[in-house]
Structures are given as C-alpha cells and as structure tokens.
Amino acid sequence: MTPALEFSGIEGGYEPGLPILRGAGARVMPGEIVTLLGPNGAGKSTLVKAAAGLVPVWAGRVTLGGRDITGMPAHRMVHEGLGFVPQTENVFANLSVLDNLKLAAALVAKRRRRELAEMFALFPDLDRQRGLAAGRLSGGQRQMLAVARALVASPSVLMLDEPSAGLSPKLVGVVFDRLRAVRDAGVPILLVEQNVKAALALADRAVVLVEGRERLEGAAREVAADPRLKALYFGAHEEAA
C-alpha cells in the first residue's frame, strides 16, 4: 500500500548550518491516525512545517500519496491535497464562522470543495454559531473551526500541530472524538501532540522524535507500554537541565 504521507531522511532547519531535522522519517498509511510525539524542541512542529512548505528541506523526501512534494511552496499544498492546521493563528478571529469556511473553500476549485453543510453536520457546535466571530468561540470550538477550514479543501491527509493545547481534558476529548470521525470518514491524520496519554489513546500508531530523528515507532498501544517512551522524554529533560 502506498503511504498517504511519508517523510524519509528529512534534513532541514531555519538557518543554514543549524540543522533541526537530522534525518527524520515517519509515515501515515491510509485510514490511520499517527501521533508525532517527543520532548519540547524535538522538531515536531518543524517537521510538519517542512512538509507544509514552511521550512526549507535540505535533504530527504516528502511524498503525498506517492507524489513527491518536497520543497513545494506552502500556497501549493492545499491544491496538492495536504491539509495543515497550525498551532496558532489557524482561524481569522475577526471573521464569522461562516466567512472563515467560505474563505477556505474559495482557495480551491469548486469540484474539490466539500459542501459547507457537510462541515456543519460534522461540527454541530459551529452550525449553531455560524454568525459568531471566530475570536469569540471557545478554545475547543475554535480548533474545530480550524479543522473544518482544512477539511473544506478535501485534503488527502490532515496534519495538526497540538490541537489540544490550552484545552481542558473534557474539551480535548471532544476534539479528539471529532478527529476520530475525520479519520473514519477517510482522511488519514498526522497529529503532533504534547498530551502524550490522550494522543496514544486516540492514535493507531506513534512516532517519537528526539533531536530531529525518530527514536521510537510502532502501534500506539505498544509505544504506550514501552519503557523507552518515558526515557526518551526524561533523557531529553536531563540534558536540558
């Protein structure tokens, strides 16, 4: 089976000579949620940004459904079918829920767009607040809107950077429940998370990144039970101390 999204041997960073990604690899197969874990500064955000065309890739390859998208500019990604929900500034706070979705839909050709009605069916909370400025939504609802904005373009893969950041445990549950529905509707997901326990409970597989390389990879249930998981977080902690 062709991976929906695959990183191999990615080297890259923000400044030449200062590599953040040091040969990172990961893959998302059709039908799965893969969570990308690792201590602070491991390069998780940098890796998804590199896929999204927002960080230069010096070596290695990113493929989407087998097509090479390495180094493609960010504005092309939505057309290629890569959906990305960044951690911050992922909605237009001053625009209404409905206008946020319309704007996202306007970025892709009509044949590609999913109906807004479909989004409102998937996210009933947004339906009830169509006219509200996105900046006035609760944290959880704002994340749902950000996800809906990405889904409107019918991505073949969805990447999310810490959608649970700042949410109460209850709201994390609500957001993760929707991500499960997105996966079940046929959109595989790469989920960057700090919320290790909840992410491993949601995901099918996990990849643990440390210092720009994957150090542990496997079925989420196995990674959750693996003593190396804690050691990788703790180890990085000790070095930082």
Ligand X SMILES: Nc1ncnc2c1ncn2[C@@H]1O[C@H](COP(=O)(O)OP(=O)(O)OP(=O)(O)O)[C@@H](O)[C@H]1O
Among 35, 45, 90, 143, binds ligand X (CB under 6 A): 45
Using CB under 6 A, pick the residue from 12, 43, 140, 163 that binds ligand X: 43
Return the one option of Mg ion, ligand X, none that residue 43 interacts with (CB less than 5 to 8 A, by type).
ligand X
Can residue 44 be called a binding residue for ligand X (CB under 6 A)? yes
Of residues 57, 86, 60, the one with CA closest to residue 72: 57
Residues forming contacts to Mg ion in the complex (CB under 5 A) are 44-45
Q: Residue 2: which of Mg ion, ligand X, none does it interact with, CB under 5 to 8 A by kind?
A: none
The answer to whether 26 contacts ligand X (rule: CB under 6 A) is: no
Identify the CA nearest to 159 among candidates 12, 21, 4.
Answer: 4
- Whichever of 46 and 70 has its CB closer to ligand X, that residue is 46
CB of 192 to Mg ion, least distance (A): 6
What's the min distance (Å) between Cβ of 203 and ligand X?
A: 16
Only segment of 33-41, 72-80, 104-112, 139-147 that touches ligand X (CB under 6 A): 33-41
Stretch that binds ligand X, among 40-48, 70-78, 113-121, 183-191 (CB under 6 A): 40-48
Q: Is 149 a binder of ligand X (CB under 6 A)?
A: no
Distance CA 40, CA 233 (A): 9
Indicate the residue among 45 and 143 with the shorter CB distance to Mg ion.
Answer: 45
Give me the 165-204 binding string for ligand X, x by CB under 6 A, dash otherwise: -----------------------------x----------
Q: Looking at beta carbons only, is 87 or 156 nearer to Mg ion? A: 87
Q: Which is nearer to Mg ion, 30 or 139 (CB)?
A: 139
Determine if 154 is a binding residue for ligand X (CB under 6 A).
Answer: no
- Cβ neighbors of 131 (< 8 A, separation 6 or more) are 96, 97, 98
Please tell me whether residue 14 binds ligand X under the rule CB under 6 A. yes
At 22, phi and psi to the nearest 5?
A: -125, 65
Residues that bind ligand X (CB under 6 A): 14, 20, 38, 40-46, 194
